[in-house]
Chain A
Amino acid sequence: MNIIVCVKQVPAKDAPLAIAGNWIKESDIGFEMNEPDTYALEEALRLKEKHGGEVIALSLGPERVKQTIKEALAKGADRGIHIADDNFAQLDPLGSAKLLAAAIASQKCDLVLTGLQSDDHGFGQTGVLLAGLLNLPHATLIMQIEVLDGKLKLKRELEAGWFQWMECPLPAVLSIQSGINKVRYATLKGIMAAKKKEIAIVTRESLGVTIEPTQKIEKIYVPTKTKKTEFLTGTPKEAAAKLVEKLKFEARVI
């Protein structure tokens, strides 16, 4: 089974964000693989270990995203595709999906996996859009994958504690729910092996994709507060004592 897994690189979780127009200042912060995508990658690697085939890690973005592709290769992906695009932060969900779909269409694959959503834009649309653009069946929020004869049996998470089993023919696009598996770390051997693995570079031009944006992020900003927070200061012990007072006599909840 040949699997393409889409991995996005996003600002590191603890990175201090400085807003610049409708994006952030990228210069002084670290980046990492989007956490929901790490679960999709892990699932791809497990399917490959069980059923054979290859795993291709696909990422869209500027030069820095190569690091995320390398991380996927170090964990066990066989090769990478980098859609080099310095202007990726200005793409809308449909624009990004068109580029990814064009790269996927150039490969022979049985399954496309994505994470649930990205921790930066948080659009949460990529997998579903890929299915539409590639005219493939899809399913989202997947918590378990069983490969049957030419099709998949999937456990899908619904809301409020409900789940549903479903069947989906191959080829297909699946968006993986976070927590489906335990993500592996790259081994030293894996990191060494990754150095010899190929990363193909493609562009909007080479993919022949023209993009007409359907939406525009005008600006981003620190949200205005809806509630007035009373900050309790002092040493941890002082703050704790103040909090107990407040909870007892002001909020009256304990």
Chain B
Amino acid sequence: MKILVVAEQRQGKWNNISFETLVAAQQIAAATSGTVSVVVIGKGVAALADELASRNLAEVLLVEHDLLESYTPDSYCVALKQVIEAAKPDLVLFPHTYQVRDFAPKLAASLGKGMIGDCIGFRSEGGNLVFVRQMFQGKTASDVTFTGTPPWFASFQAGAFRADLLAAHPGGKAPINALKATLNASDIRTKPLELFKEAKSAVDLTQAPLIVAIGRGIKAPENIAQAEALAKALGAELAASRPICDEGWLPMERQIGSSGQTVAPKLYLALGISGAIQHVVGMKGSRTIVAVNKDQNAPIFEIADYGIVADIFEVMPALTEELQKSKS
């Protein structure tokens, strides 16, 4: 199987998830006696292409154009469609980033194809590729296969593969081949303007050794005081899953997950958090994970070291009291 990875760079640096996707591609190639090529797209990105050439790849395709300097979904779709038509891969793989979500389904559809997005793994069964992805907010997994003819399109979630397993090129270097893309300014309908960060966040949760995080199970803003008391007794920072910040119950800067901060503290205590993938990607690297949830089937328990199946409103005060007792 001929695999093409569309690697993602941001402001001149490789996004680590691009390496994870290359590892996924190498593993699929190993299972299907295939090859892996990568496409590097942008303006002034030859050095980035060179960086990838030292990996175990059949080829690095380099597509440079003035109109690819800033990302737009239109320019990426027009250019990558030409790349796919020229390179004729069987499988096109992407890292599942916000940028990929923004253009890859349209790119696949422009070739009359579908995309299996946000995969967490794959299996090769009798020559058939089976992709695994989550459904129902992580409560179930699903096995998905492509129907119809290649090229097929799929993306892999952050953390699904280990970037450090990326194999080096056995013979030194993969060839870098420039490909010409024809792009016109009139192809691009949206206009990207300035990039910015919101007012610098006062709390840097990435540095917190202990985190107490609340989710929907907290039910109402007036209940947050109980979680705060527990965090105080533990000496932990208080954080939350996205819905809590969307409601405005805690500031956005305390949000953990794909759209918030990614943390890996010594202890992560999840209270009333179901464990939707968007949250889990931001905290699954924590050393010890404790989950308290009244639903014993909540996906958060799949990654928890310790679990308590109970009402958080009974556990929070009890745990606060035990912590205070253990300190005195």
Contacts and interface: CB of A to CB of B under 8 A. Distances in A.
A168 B190 contact: yes
Interface of B: 73-74, 77, 97-99, 101-106, 108-110, 113-118, 130, 133-148, 189-198, 201, 210, 216, 234-235, 242-243, 245-246, 248, 252, 258-262, 266-267, 277, 287-291, 295, 297, 299, 301-311, 314-315, 318-319, 321-323, 326
A140 B140 contact: no
B307 A229 contact: yes
Nearest to B191: A167
Nearest to B319: A240
A247 B146 CA distance: 45
14 contacts: A13-B216, A129-B105, A131-B106, A132-B105, A140-B101, A214-B113, A218-B143, A219-B142, A222-B141, A227-B302, A231-B307, A236-B311, A240-B308, A253-B287
Nearest to A141: B98
Interface residues of A, number: 81
Nearest to B74: A137
Contact of B194 (A131, A164, A177, A236): A164
A200 interface: no
A229 B136 CA distance: 21
Given A123-B117, A231-B307, 18 more contacts: A124-B118, A164-B192, A164-B195, A177-B259, A179-B242, A215-B145, A215-B146, A216-B145, A221-B142, A224-B141, A225-B302, A227-B304, A232-B306, A239-B308, A240-B322, A243-B322, A247-B290, A251-B287
A212 interface: yes
Given A122-B135, A163-B195, A214 B305 contact: no
A214 B304 contact: no
Contact of B97 (A131, A159, A178, A213): A159
Interface in A150-183: 157-169, 177-179, 182
Contact of A237 (B140, B147, B262, B318): B318
A222 B299 CA distance: 9
B301 A229 contact: yes
A253 B216 contact: no
Contacts of A125: 101, 105, 115, 117
B110 A132 contact: yes
A139 interface: yes
Nearest to A139: B190
B318 A240 contact: yes
Contacts of B190: 137-139, 166-169
Nearest to B296: A231
A29 to B, nearest CB: 11
B234 A178 contact: no
A214 to B, nearest CB: 3
A219 B143 contact: yes
Nearest to B313: A236
A226 interface: yes
A246 B260 CA distance: 29
- Of all A-B residue pairs in the complex, the 4 with the closest CB atoms, nearest first, are A214-B114, A179-B246, A132-B106, A137-B189
A152 to B, nearest CB: 9
Interface in A92-116: 92-94, 97
B197 A240 contact: no
B288 A166 contact: no
Given A124-B101, A163-B195, A231 B309 contact: yes
A36 to B, nearest CB: 10
Given A122-B135, A215-B114, A253-B288, A232 B308 contact: yes
Interface in A175-219: 177-179, 182, 212-219
A122 B147 CA distance: 20
B306 to A, nearest CB: 5
A132 B114 CA distance: 12
Given A93-B115, A163-B195, A227-B304, A217 B143 contact: yes
